[in-house]
Amino acid sequence: MDRRTFLKTAAATGGVLATARLASARAAAAPASAVPERKTKHLVLVAFAGGVRTRETFGTPQNVPTLQALADEGVLYTRARTSNLGHFGAALAIFTGVAEQRGIRENARSNDVTLFEYLRKDLGWGPNDAWIATSGGAQQVNYAYGVHPDYGAAYGANTLDGEGIFNREFKLLLEGWGRPRVWSEAEERQLAALRASLARHAGADMADAGGAQVERFLLEELTRGTSDLTGPNASDAKALRVARNLLTLFRPRVTAVVLQDADTAHGNYGGYVEVVRRNDAALGTLWQAVKQDPQLANSTAIVVVPEFGRDRDLNSRRGLDHGDGSEDLSLVTCTCWGPDFKKNSIVKEEVGVVDVTPTICDLFGAKPRHSRGKRLPGLFA
Ligand SMILES: [Zn+2]
C-alpha cells in the first residue's frame, strides 16, 4: 500500500470514526445534560513555552502574524497570570490547572490530574484521541499523565517528540520490529491493542497490510519532513510539524504541543526573537493545514499560551532571564480561536494560565475536579 492509498483510506474512515466517537462521547456525557452542544470536536493546545514575553509577541505584531490573525478571529486575553515556577512546573500548570512548586530539574509524574486524563475518563475517549508532541527533554513526557489514583496512565496522552520517539511503551514496541524475538505476554497484549487501534483508524486494508509495516508507515508519516528542519527553533519546529502530521492523519480530539526553544533568551536576545518569529510561522503552517482539511476546518479550536514571560530588563549578557517578578514575566497573553468562541474580542480582565485546563474541559463536557482554575470569562460566542 502506498502513501496515497493509505491517506485515502484514512480520510475515508476518519468521518465514520469521528461520528462513532462523538456518539460514544455523547452517551458517556449524557447524564450531565447541562452540557451545551458545541461545534468544537478537535482542539490544538500550544504551550508556547520557554518563556515568551508579550512585548515580543502582541507588543511587536510583525513578529507574530499568525497569532495576530488567530486573535483577530478569536479571543485574546491580555493579562493571563502565570505561575511563578520554573519552566517545568509552569508549563505543567497549563495542563493540570494547578500551580505547584517544582524544581526546574525535577523529573517525575505529578499527583495532579492532566487535561488528557479528565477528557479521556469522563468522555470515554480512546488512546488515540489525545496526543502530546513535545520539543524534547525527558521532563516533558510527564505532561502526558499524572499518578492520581482515580486517573493515571490508562487515561494519558500518547507522547511523541520531534524526532519521532513515541512514549516509552511505543518505543519498546517499535524497537522490536524486524528483529525476530520472543515477546513477553504483556508485550503481546500491548501489541494486539495497538494493532487493533491502528486497524480501527486505518480500515481493513491497513490491517491486512501487516502489523509491522503499518506501524513503521505510521511512524514515517507522523515524522515526515521533520529531519530537514534546522535553525534556532529546530526542536520546536519539529514538534509543531509532528502535531500537524498527527492532526491530518489521525484527527485526534486533542493535540497538545510543548515548545521550549525561546529559552535561548537567557544568553541571546536576538536568537529568542528569531525563535518567536519562526514558531509563529510554523504555527501558521499548522493552522493552514486545519483550514484546508474539510473535516477539521469548522470543528477545530486552537489555544496558544506561554508558561510565563521574561524579565523586564536585559541581563549583563544582553539576554533575558525570568525571575524579576515584573509584569513582563508574570502576565502573558492567551490566544483562543475556534468555532464556539467569540470573534475579534479582547479581554483585559485578569485570568490565569491555570484557567486553560478547566476551560477546555468545559468546552468538551468533562469535569476538571481537582483543578484550581476557573473557566475563562467572555470566551464563548
Ligand atoms: Zn529559562
Q: What is the pLDDT of residues 160-199, one digit of tens each?
A: 765 555 554 455 555 554 443 455 566 566 556 655 655 5
148 CA → ligand 1 middle, Å = 28
Burial status of residue 344 (CB atoms within 10 A of its CB: 0-12, 13-18, 19 or more): exposed
Ligand 1 center to residue 331 CA distance, Å? 16
Which helix (H) or strand (E) is 198 found in, with range? helix 185-202
Is 325 in contact with 341 (CB distance < 8 Å)? no
Ligand 1 geometric centre to CA of 241 (Å): 24
- Non-local CB neighbours of 176 within 8 Å, separated by 6+ positions: 183, 187
Q: How far is the CA of 214 from the centre of ligand 1 (A)?
A: 40
**How large a percentage of the chain has pLDDT more than 90?**
57
Q: For residue 313, report the distance from its CA to the centre of ligand 1, in Å.
A: 15
Query: In the prediction, which pLDDT does 5 show?
Result: 43
| Residue 41 near residue 298 (C-beta atoms within 8 A) | no
User: What is the CA(49)–ligand 1 centre distance, in A?
Assistant: 10
SS3 304: strand
**What's the length of the chain?**
381
Q: Could you tell me the distance, in angstroms and rounded to a whole number, from the CA of residue 67 to the centre of ligand 1? A: 22
Separation of CA 114 and ligand 1 centre (Å):
23
Question: Which H helix or E strand runs over 334?
Answer: strand 331-337
pLDDT at 353: 97
Average pLDDT, the chain: 82
The list of the chain residues with pLDDT below 50 reads 1-33, 168-169, 177-181, 202-209
pLDDT at residue number 230 = 84
Neighbours of 319 (CB within 10 A): 18
Are 237 and 231 spatial neighbours (Cβ–Cβ below 8 Å)? yes
Ligand 1 centre distance from Cα of residue 273 (Å): 15
pTM: 0.81
Phi, psi for 134 (deg, rounded to 5): -110, 155
- Pseudo-torsion of CA 222, 227, 233, 236, nearest 10°? 20
Distance 32 CA to ligand 1 centre (A): 42
- CA 105 to centroid of ligand 1, rounded, Å: 11
